[in-house]
Amino acid sequence: MLYNVRQEWIKLNKRWFLERNTIEYYTEKIDELTTKLEAEQKVVLREKQQASTFVFFKSRLSTTSAAQNLHARMVDTWTVVNAPEPRQVIRDNLTKQVYSRQIRQYIVHSIVFLTIAFYMIPIGLVSAFTTLENLKKLLPFIKPWVKKKALRTVLEAYLPRLALIVFLSLLLKLLLVLSKAEGIPSESLAARAASGKYFYFFVFNVFIGVTLGGTLFSTFKTIHKSADDIIPLLASSLPGNATFFLTFVALK
């Protein structure tokens, strides 16, 4: 009986191998699993795809290599960058697509350009009206107070600079909000973008705006009478604004 059982198992074993060899069996399994994999990939792309994700590596070398490699032919399809510190992540911006961030960036840059152009108006007016000589013309009742040396020194040195510093402090908060609205994914990158915008504001509005604003206001009547003398007038009036920037830097 044992012999018959053993002989039957051998027959079955031989017959099984003859009908279903290993290569054919696993080829069919691969085809079956490939079909399921493609179906699952379609579901993921259609319903479960996320705009961004975090990937953790065991070594810095692997992290650097992954961040420097090209993972897709189209840059806007899949972009890999070094992740910021968890506390620096702006999670609301992680879900924004690349094209959405580009559109937001163009809009924000347009707003910044317009703000640079028109922010010069209040800064120029404040810098022009808060000089001591102009204040005496606009507010004659302060002339007796201005004669006091201590008060005169404070007004000349600090009043125009404080007004400008207040404008710039409000501006910095506005630029930070605009930088985050671009879709930047981390606080540090948003602060860096705001600093770049702030630099342009400082050059065009503070340096050029304050200098030319105060100079043109004080020599406006002379320029109106003889426009040909504008260059000599500016050359003689610009050095007077040097004290403004000295005290401005001291207050900052």
**pLDDT tens digits, residue range 80-138?**
777 788 888 888 888 787 788 889 999 999 999 998 888 777 766 776 666 666 777 77
Distance CA 91, CA 134 (A): 50
Local structure of 56: helix, strand or coil: coil
Backbone CA torsion sign across 241, 247, 250, 252: negative
Claim to verify: residue 11 and residue 40 sit in the same structural domain: yes
Full residue range of the structural domain in which residue 238 is found: 93-251
Q: What is the per-residue pLDDT across 22-59, written as a single tens digit (0 to 9) for each? A: 777 788 889 889 988 888 888 777 766 666 777 788 88
CB 131 within 8 A of CB 214: yes
Claim to verify: residue 27 and residue 69 sit in the same structural domain: no
Distance CA 126, CA 160 (A): 7
Which region, left, alpha or beta, applies to residue 131 given φ > 0 means left and ψ of -120 to 50 means alpha?
A: beta
Predicted pLDDT at 106: 93
Claim to verify: residue 141 and residue 41 sit in the same structural domain: no
Stretch 149-153: mean pLDDT: 71
Predicted pLDDT at 108: 93
In a domain, 127, yes or no: yes
Distance CA 162, CA 168 (A): 10
The count of domains in the chain is 3
In a domain, 88, yes or no: no
CB 126 within 8 A of CB 146: no
Q: What is the rounded (10 degree) CA torsion for 200, 206, 207, 212?
A: 120
Claim to verify: residue 70 and residue 125 sit in the same structural domain: no
Claim to verify: residue 157 and residue 120 sit in the same structural domain: yes
- Counting every residue written for the chain, the total comes to 252
Distance CA 197, CA 109 (A): 9
Distance CA 207, CA 172 (A): 16
First-residue to last-residue Cα distance in the chain: 103
Model-level pTM greater than 0.85?
A: no
Which of 62, 83, 104 terminates a domain? The answer is 83
Claim to verify: residue 118 and residue 227 sit in the same structural domain: yes
